A and B are shown apart, each in its own frame.
Chain A
Amino acid sequence: MSFVLAAYVVPACAVWAALGLVLGAVSALGSVVAPVACLTAGVYGLGYGVVEVSGLAWPAAPGRRWQVPQGFLIGADSRRRVLIWGAILGPGWLTRNPYAAFGLLPLLVLGTGQVVAAVVLAALIGAAHGSGRALALLRDAAAPSADPFELVLRSIRWRQADGVALLAVAGAALMVAARLPR
């Protein structure tokens, strides 16, 4: 368990911390960047929150369609496969993102307004995302589902839950944007 967790969390932390450094530097360029980022996060969250809660198919969540190629995994032993999956899936940037909340996260990092705060927040986001993916994987490995349609049904309900979470964060982001010192 700890190996799987580490395989997902360590690369996720590293990638997100590096991204936090870049976004933090951009955020520190001017006092207007952080409020605008929070405002954009609020608008994004409101829009996609309504889309996901109401079950609309369009617009799809921003992201890539790329999946881990079979060639990366065929012939690799189980530890190597976990390392490959962890490095690619843990940070969350390279593969398909079915839920829109992921796109909100870099905007919130940009909203910090400070380089150090952006790096710390981004690293925590990476750790949280990576551990979430690893724990879901471990849970499914321990108790695989017998019903093939359960995954589809669960994905619909997770999309709605993602929308509810987006709306809550959007509300907070809009209020913070309005009250941040400029």
Chain B
Amino acid sequence: MIALDRAPVRAAVAAAALLAGLATGWAAAGGFGALALLAVLLAAGNGYEKAYSP
């Protein structure tokens, strides 16, 4: 079992991720650059993780 298998840990990680995203968006001050970078990282992760779908 890894830490993310426990629901409270998952909830805490999810809340932290949301807050980190909000902070990133706030720091971008209306610019799209940070969101564009996140989109590229999300695409890379999505492509990679699809190898692990039955």
Interface size class of A (residues with CB under 8 A): 35 or more
Majority SS of interface residues in chain B?
Answer: helix
CA distance A89 to B48 in the complex (A): 11
Known: A98-B50, A121-B39, A168-B38. A162 touches B45 (CB 8 A): yes
- A92: CB under 8 A from chain B? yes
Q: Which residues of A contact B10 (CB under 8 A)?
A: 53-54, 160
- B21 to A172, Cβ gap below 8 A? yes
Taken residue by residue from 15 to 54, chain B's Cβ proximity to chain A (1 for < 8 Å, 0 otherwise) reads as: 0011111111110111110111011111111111111111
- B53 to A99, Cβ gap below 8 A? yes
Interface residues, chain B, CB within 8 Å of chain A? 2, 4, 7, 10-11, 13-14, 17-26, 28-32, 34-36, 38-54
Interface residues, chain A, CB within 8 Å of chain B? 38, 46, 49-50, 53-54, 89, 92, 96-99, 101-102, 104-105, 108-109, 111-113, 117, 121, 124-126, 128-133, 135-137, 139-140, 151-152, 154-155, 157-158, 160-176, 178-181
